Amino acid sequence: MNSHGRDIKIFTANSNPILAREVADYLNLPLGKCEATTFSDGEINISIGESVRGYDCFIIQPTCDPVNNNLMELLIMIDAMKRASAARITAVIPYFGYARQDRKSRARDPISAKLVADLLSTAGANRVLVMDLHAPQIQGFFNIPVDHLVGAPLLSSAIKEMMGDNKDDYVVASPDLGSVTRARKFAEKLDCKIAIIDKRRPKANVSEVMNIIGDVEGKKIIMIDDMIDTAGTLCNAAEAIVKIGGASEVYAAATHGVLSGQAIERIQNSPIKELLLTNTIPLPDEKRLDKIKILTVAPLFAEAIERIYEDKPVSPIVT
């Protein structure tokens, strides 16, 4: 590809090289030569093995676990490219770490998502490409352009295939009140009814009471969220919707599979029949369960990168 006089190069560090390679393959491009290593004291060293002068550079690096290492690799790589006279640097961050720290929920809390946005700009990023930010308003933390992709079309397409012509048997459920808007949009895509799981603690040290809002009895439930971290909320909600609501089957879908702590054990022991995730975060072999199905976001990111490179709008693929 050669547009507006600049050539394009795709780079990655250590956080998700498999996804980066997939994206590069879709674009019929090689991955740029770059090595991210660590000195014996833990400092990160970036070595770019080819010229980037005058190039449109895209660095694919989700800031997943280990979050701080992956973030520093990205920042140092951006700085290296800026100092090597890259024409434009786009930070492609399929999963944006620190996104849950987007506001002050208590006195003296940091707003770490804003700090990370400032660090990316200061390092020299000219624009950012992300997917399913935990809080969409984080886009406003940046003073550079942000393209925000969504995983819902990919997930809903896979679920539609599973549903076939039996959509009346399915109900989309929000595992908590915070995900209601996401669940409603997802239900519209599938043309399904919606249910909400409302959990509340009557008073301190009293166990949570689950209320199911909506008719789920005998239905196949699709629980939707943007990310699954420890899977506590998701698995508790799945159990409640079966035991209290009388649902017949439970499926779950999310863009980001953080899967930390006891997540894998909880998912394995839960009533969830199948969990759909995307590969924004790499899933190591020890976390792979038969009930987890991975969908690739590579074609979506490849198209977005091509559009950004050619100065075309990204909005047509954000539906």
272: tokens are: 């969830």
Note whether 86 and 57 are within 8 A (CB).
yes
The alpha carbon of 197 is separated from its chain's Cα centroid by a whole number of angstroms, namely 23
**Residues written for the chain:** 319
Give the pLDDT confidence score for residue 44 in this predicted structure. Answer: 97
Task: List for the chain the helix, strand, coil content (%; round to 5).
Answer: 35, 30, 35
Give the pLDDT confidence score for residue 164 in this predicted structure. Answer: 85
82: tokens are: 């800026």
pLDDT tens for 201-256 read 666 555 566 789 999 999 999 999 999 999 988 998 999 999 999 999 999 999 99
Active-site residues, by number, are: 199
What is the rounded distance in angstroms from the CA atom of residue 76 to the CA atom of residue 47? 10
What is the rounded distance in angstroms from the CA atom of residue 136 to the CA atom of residue 52? 32
Amino acid at 134: H
Residues in the chain where the model's pLDDT stays below 50: none
Amino acid at 234: L
Of the chain, the percentage scoring pLDDT greater than 90 comes to 84
Amino acid at 111: I
The closest alpha carbon to 303, from 287, 288, 319, 292, belongs to: 319
Torsions phi, psi for 312 (to 5 deg): -105, 155
